[in-house]
Amino acid sequence: MTLRLVIFFVMLAYVANAQTPARPPVRIGVVGLVHTHVHGVFHKAYREKGQTDIQIVGIAEPDRQLAERYAKQYGFPMSLVYPTIDAMLDATKPEAVTDFGKIIDHLKTVRLAAPRGIHVMVEKPLAVSLDHARQMAALAQKHKIQLLTNYETTWYGSNHRAYAMTIGEKAIGDVRKLVIHDGHQGPQEIGCTPEFLTWLTDPVENGAGALFDFGCYGANLATWLMQGQRPTSVMAVTGQIKPHIYPKVDDEATIIVTYPKAQAVIQASWNWPYARKDMEVYGQTGSIMALDAKRMRVRLNEREPERMLEATSADAPAPDPFAYLARVVRGDEKEIDNLTSLPNNLVVMEILEAARTSAKTGKIVVLH
């Protein structure tokens, strides 16, 4: 090939690439500002340099002073803020919404977004009850939208590395026991905002206290590692160690989830001495422990010594939930990651509802 032809083909490739427009960011609506996890989407949209995944086109929040506080912190115009979800959806027509309101209001968000063909991502857990969850699922299926649930632990590389070793590589044989710890010193103790505390510590608006707030993480991970299997029974014990701070809800919860050949112990608490989100997986021959987002402790069998591993964010399905949501909306994800998926989170709600019933009655709840 002559030099002239080489130059011609190089220039042709350059022109072709130059004429391929970059995809615009996905248009996102934010529903509610009373859940302080909302800092995540604002940080993504306004603080992450060069990000092209999402663009916030509207915010639904009736509390004007609360909206002004976030506007001042992140520098967005108050013209983005609407007093109702309907008004925001009609005026801005987002492709997806992220819900940072009370858990009890997740159903309302789906009722309004689904008929408009707008995808929804809610903060964990999916709902305050199994009835609400099933109504939300029916709406999502009827209107062919994606309904995702966001957990911080979904984006931990360590959890995905543990799953790959356990399920993909069968490195420790079949799962026999899961022990999952989640929580912190307590929402008031760590300085949660008044608008967050108001509903988080209400049994109607949040579904429960620590039982739902942190028990959902364990139920989500257990359902994932058990590959979607529904448990045979659920037993739970809850307590109020600090009734003077949390008079209406539990601040301590232990859930035992039984499967035909395995057991999961979920320990959810607002009484840990420090924040934690860790998981222990025990198989027939060894164990794999995810200590935090990256660090892991592994012992594959009795003869081998324990060793430390480090996962990376590349082991997770995306660097953050909003990048992942953008890929889902664009159709880049042909199979939704199981941890965020609706089937997984319907099982999660079965576990949480059974746990709430068990704690109230003192009896094991058998799932049929």
Reported as a single tens digit per residue, the pLDDT across 286-333 is: 999 999 999 999 999 999 999 999 999 999 999 999 999 999 999 999
Query: Helix 64-74 to helix 38-46 angle, to the nearest 10 degrees?
Result: 40
How many Cα atoms are found within 13 Å in the side-chain-facing hemisphere of 101?
A: 26
User: Which three-class secondary structure state does DSSP give residue 42?
Assistant: helix
User: Which three-class secondary structure state does DSSP give residue 185?
Assistant: coil
DSSP letters for 310-331: E--GGGSSSSSHHHHHHHHHHT
Helix (H), strand (E), coil (C) string for 152-178: HHHHCHHHHHHHHHHHHCCCCCCEEEE
How far, in Å, CA of 151 to CA of 154, rounded?
5
Question: How many C-beta atoms surround the C-beta of residue 224 within 10 A?
Answer: 22
Mean pLDDT value of segment 119-132: 98
- Burial (0-12, 13-18, 19+ Cβ within 10 Å), 50: exposed
Please name every residue paired with 182 in a beta bridge, in sequence order, or none if there are none.
268, 277
How far, in Å, CA of 131 to CA of 73, rounded?
37
* 18, pLDDT greater than 90: no
Specify the pairing of strand 262-269 against strand 175-183: parallel
Nearest to 189 by CA among 271, 260, 311, 252: 271
Q: Which amino acid is at 226?
A: M
Mind listing the pLDDT tens digit for each residue in 77-121? 999 999 999 999 999 999 999 999 999 999 999 999 999 999 999
The answer to whether residues 145 and 125 touch, using CB atoms and an 8 Å cutoff, is: no
* Backbone φ and ψ of 263, nearest 5°: -145, 140
Place 22 in a pLDDT band, splitting at 50, 70 and 90.
Answer: confident
Mind listing the pLDDT tens digit for each residue in 193-204? 999 999 999 999
* 19, pLDDT greater than 70: no
Nearest to 195 by CA among 84, 69, 75, 353: 69
Structure tokens at 61: 């929040």
What does the pLDDT read at residue 23?
Answer: 85
* 8, pLDDT greater than 50: no
